């Protein structure tokens, strides 16, 4: 059976500034890499200079949308200063997207902060929320003629988990109470930021669509003697990590659509208050390059569960890191089939963005994992489309899939 997508369906890919641009020397991550002796993001993909070429490749694949992020530290280099030069740079970046018929979807915060913001206590301090909001205001005003789809935060819980619970990302804190404080401050920034964006467009005749990119996983109980406790833990973790923020923000009417990032399935085990991920690997499943449990049926299940919010959904990230082309293709097709079935059964999905347009800097894991449609040679910065990208390009062009 063939499933046809609506004419207006957004086919795209996603990327983030820090992971691709290179030389973001004023961001908290840059210092972190140095201090911790991690692999340096250095010039990353040189995307800051090569963006036109990257977008041209995206248009070659028949994509009609692209999710990018803006580097806060570039636009807002000091607490009371905004860089006109960097705002102009991002205007040029977005003009290039438009030139290649790629609808811009713009993220304002994708894990990184200006160093000065981090030094003032970052997201742990209520008083710092205003710094972010002044960046948001300045930036949205500068780009409002070009952009009407905004993501304020990317994956707040992933950020908090790594930066404030595990302590493996900057600022390297390990404290549940600090994590909770940060979450409250980020949610407060989202709520005010949402209103602010609506206000900025007030007399423009455009109603910008504003959301969050929310990471969701399937949580399954790890088998074994503790199965019942593990089941309770999986249910709790699903509620906490998947649905709590969505319930809160939808009740406040502060999401115009759901931005869904989906990668994998977690097997949970009982431990302490909130449990943890077990290393159980099911015999019938497969793991990707990073050991993540690939589970395309889970994508279908989550999409069906999101239907109850009665909001349109855009898949703001879905993808994998592999070392064999056929595995990317297998992942892509499996997940697109799940998506098409969910749509057929009435879930209102408006777009699908592959993570990522190009191989890039995978945070603490450096350049090993490759998520891109485009392969990047980190010595010469040459780009080359991977074979599976052509399969994706054909689906985008045909706007339909065989299920």
Q: Which residue has the tokens 């005749």?
A: 205
- Smallest separation (angstroms) from ligand BGC to the CB of 319: 7
- Other residues' Cβ atoms within 10 Å of the Cβ of residue 69: 24
CA distance 47 to 20: 5
Which residues would be at the binding site for ligand BGC (CB under 6 A)?
A: 16, 19, 154-155, 158, 215, 261, 317, 355, 362, 371
Query: Among residues 221 and 351, whose Cβ is nearest to ligand BGC?
Result: 351
Run of H or E including 215: strand 209-221
- Please report the beta strands in 5-109, taking only residues with DSSP state E, as ranges in sequence order: 10-14, 65-69, 103-109
| Cβ atoms < 10 Å from Cβ of 279 | 8
- Asked if 205 and 67 count as a contact pair (C-beta separation under 8 A), the reply is no
CA dihedral 332, 346, 307, 223 (to 10 degrees): -50
With 0-12 CB in 10 A as exposed, 13-18 as middle and 19+ as buried, what is 253?
Answer: exposed
Q: Which is nearer to ligand BGC, 5 or 169 (CB)?
A: 169
- Active-site option among 178, 196, 317, 322: 317
Q: How far is the CB of 264 from ligand BGC (least distance, A)?
A: 10
Separation CA 269–CA 147 (nearest Å): 43
Residue 3 forms beta bridges with which residues?
401
Show Cβ contacts of residue 345 under 8 Å, excluding neighbours closer than 6 positions.
304
CA distance 253 to 39: 41
Q: DSSP secondary structure string, 307-318?
A: GGG---EEEEEE
Q: For ligand BGC, give the closer residue by CB, 306 or 341.
A: 306
Q: Rounded CA gap, 362 and 179, in Å?
A: 22
Q: How far is the CB of 356 from ligand BGC (least distance, A)?
A: 7
Q: Which is nearer to ligand BGC, 221 or 259 (CB)?
A: 259
Instruction: Please state the closest distance from residue 183 (CB atom) to ligand BGC, in A.
Output: 17
Which SS3 state, helix, strand or coil, does residue 67 take?
strand
Q: How far apart are CA 20 and CA 358, in angstroms?
A: 8
Closest approach of Cβ 360 to ligand BGC, in Å? Answer: 7
Least distance in angstroms from the C-beta of 394 to ligand BGC: 25
CB of 52 to ligand BGC, least distance (A): 23
Q: Which is nearer to ligand BGC, 327 or 401 (CB)?
A: 327
The reply to whether 317 belongs to the active site is yes
> Distance (Å, rounded) from C-alpha 239 to C-alpha 219?
10
Nearer to ligand BGC, 148 or 317 (CB): 317
- Of the two residues 19 and 128, which places its CB atom closer to ligand BGC in the complex? 19
Residue 346's Cβ-side half-sphere holds a number of Cα atoms within 13 Å equal to 5
Residues with a catalytic annotation lie at 317
């Amino acid at each position: 059976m063939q499933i046809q997508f609506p004419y207006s369906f957004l086919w795209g890919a996603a990327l983030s500034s820090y992971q691709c641009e290179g030389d973001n020397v004023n961001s908290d991550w840059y210092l972190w890499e140095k201090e911790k002796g991690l692999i340096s993001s250095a010039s990353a993909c040189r995307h800051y200079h090569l963006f036109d070429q990257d977008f041209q490749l995206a248009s070659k694949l028949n994509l009609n949308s692209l999710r990018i992020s803006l580097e806060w530290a570039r636009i807002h280099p000091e607490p009371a200063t905004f860089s006109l030069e960097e705002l102009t740079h991002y205007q040029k970046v977005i003009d290039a997207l438009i030139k290649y018929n790629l609808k811009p979807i713009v993220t304002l915060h994708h894990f990184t902060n200006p160093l000065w913001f981090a030094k003032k206590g970052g997201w742990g301090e209520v008083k710092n929320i205003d710094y972010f909001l002044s960046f948001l205001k300045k930036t949205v005003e500068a780009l409002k003629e070009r952009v009407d789809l905004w993501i304020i935060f990317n994956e707040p819980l992933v950020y908090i988990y790594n930066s404030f619970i595990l302590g493996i990302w900057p600022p390297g804190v390990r404290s549940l109470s600090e994590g909770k404080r940060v979450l409250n401050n980020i949610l407060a920034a989202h709520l005010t930021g949402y209103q602010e964006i609506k206000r900025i467009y007030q007399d423009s005749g455009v109603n910008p669509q504003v959301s969050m990119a929310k990471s969701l996983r399937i949580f399954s109980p790890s088998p074994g003697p503790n199965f019942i406790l593990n089941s309770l833990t999986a249910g709790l973790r699903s509620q906490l990590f998947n649905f709590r923020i969505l319930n809160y923000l939808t009740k406040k009417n502060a999401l115009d659509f759901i931005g869904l990032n989906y990668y994998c399935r977690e097997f949970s085990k009982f431990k302490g208050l909130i449990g943890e991920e077990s290393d159980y690997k099911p015999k019938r499943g497969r793991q990707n390059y990073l050991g993540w449990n690939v589970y395309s049926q889970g994508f279908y299940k989550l999409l069906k569960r999101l239907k109850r919010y009665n909001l349109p959904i855009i898949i703001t990230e879905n993808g994998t890191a592999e070392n064999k082309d056929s595995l990317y293709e297998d992942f892509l097709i499996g997940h697109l089939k799940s998506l098409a079935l969910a749509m057929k059964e009435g879930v209102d999905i408006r777009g699908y963005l592959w993570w990522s347009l190009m191989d890039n800097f995978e945070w603490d894991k450096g350049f090993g994992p490759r998520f891109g449609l485009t392969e990047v040679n980190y010595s010469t910065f040459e780009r080359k489309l991977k074979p599976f990208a052509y399969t994706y390009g054909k689906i985008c062009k045909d706007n339909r899939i065989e299920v």
